[in-house]
Amino acid sequence: MLTVALPKGRIAEETLEIFEEIFGENFRFESRKLVLEMGKFRFLLVRNQDVPTYVAHQAADIGVVGLDVIEEQSLDIVKLLDLGIGRCKVAVGIRDDEELDWSRPQIKVASKMVNIARNYFSEKAMGVEIVKLYGSIELAPIVGLADAIVDIVETGTTMKENGLKVVETIMESSAHLIANKYSFLMKKSEIMDLYSKMGEVVNGA
Ligand code: PRP
């Protein structure tokens, strides 16, 4: 039995579609249920940012989560396969009537991805004060809570509609299959079997 942590929403749906293609059966959660058992698999529906936690603690053997979340949390997990779904980027945004002034000694940056934000500006040798937010990050520069934001950009619509523009791309992200280190050793053949079947689907083999 393999326990699989999936992030609620579109990525879970698209991952289950990959399973449907592999096994030729319907993989659907009943409404409001957070656990789905199907043959050799048990799926858990969790918050996106919690997927690496379930996997690192071995509450799930494997999981699917964005590279941005993996990078932000740097937990001890094995990264197996790029599923090519949930593509987005992590970018720096500012008000579209401003420019990012790299000569300033310090800027204030709002983000829910505080580690990625801090590392990025540290590498550029720019002093940064991070304001941790949990959502609606795009509001921060509008109301003067921050000079810039570090956030997920998918279509770019949210930034645009709130008078912001992307000035730097920090990283490209997409959903990856990850595994617990011990599960990967103990259940290697099951995990590798799934890995190669998923690989065939996502790489169109
Ligand atoms: C992300 C991000 C932006 C938005 C970008 O939030 O924080 O607000 O999506 O998408 P766009 O470029 O297509 O407009 P998300 O909806 O993932 O929710 P979250 O804040 O709960 O993580």
We report the CATH number of the domain holding residue 117 as 3.40.190.10
The structural domain count of the chain equals 2
Question: Are residue 181 and residue 82 in the same domain, yes or no?
Answer: yes
What is the residue whose two structure tokens read 């094995």? 78
My answer on whether 9 and 79 are in the same domain is yes
How far apart are the CA of 104 and the centre of ligand 1, in A?
A: 28
The closest residue, in CA terms, to atom 7 on ligand 1 is: 152
pTM, 2 dp:
0.95
User: Atom 18 of ligand 1 has which residue's CA nearest to it?
Assistant: 135
Domain range spanning residue 73? 2-86+174-202
Mutational pocket test of ligand 1: of 72, 158, 172, the residue with most ligand atoms within 8 Å of the beta carbon? 158
Residue where the block lists tokens 């992030």:
7
DSSP-H helix ranges across the chain: 10-23, 51-56, 67-73, 114-123, 139-142, 157-161, 181-186, 188-202
Same domain, 24 and 80: yes
Ligand 1 atom nearest to 157, measured from its CA: 14
- Residue 166 shares a structural domain with residue 179: no
Pocket of ligand 1 contains residue 151 by CB under 6 Å:
yes
157 lines ligand 1 (CB under 6 A): yes
Among the atoms of ligand 1, which is closest to the Cα of residue 151?
A: 7
In this structure, the answer to whether residues 36 and 76 fall within a common structural domain is yes
Query: How far apart (Å, rounded) are the C-alpha atoms in residues 141 and 32?
Result: 36
The 3-state DSSP class for residue 48 equals helix
pLDDT in tens, the chain (205 residues): 999 999 999 999 999 999 999 999 999 999 999 999 999 999 999 999 999 999 999 999 999 999 999 999 999 999 999 999 999 999 999 999 999 988 888 999 999 999 999 999 999 999 999 999 999 999 999 999 999 999 999 999 999 999 999 999 999 999 999 999 999 999 999 999 999 999 999 998 6
Same structural domain, 183 and 198: yes
Say whether both 160 and 180 belong to one domain. no
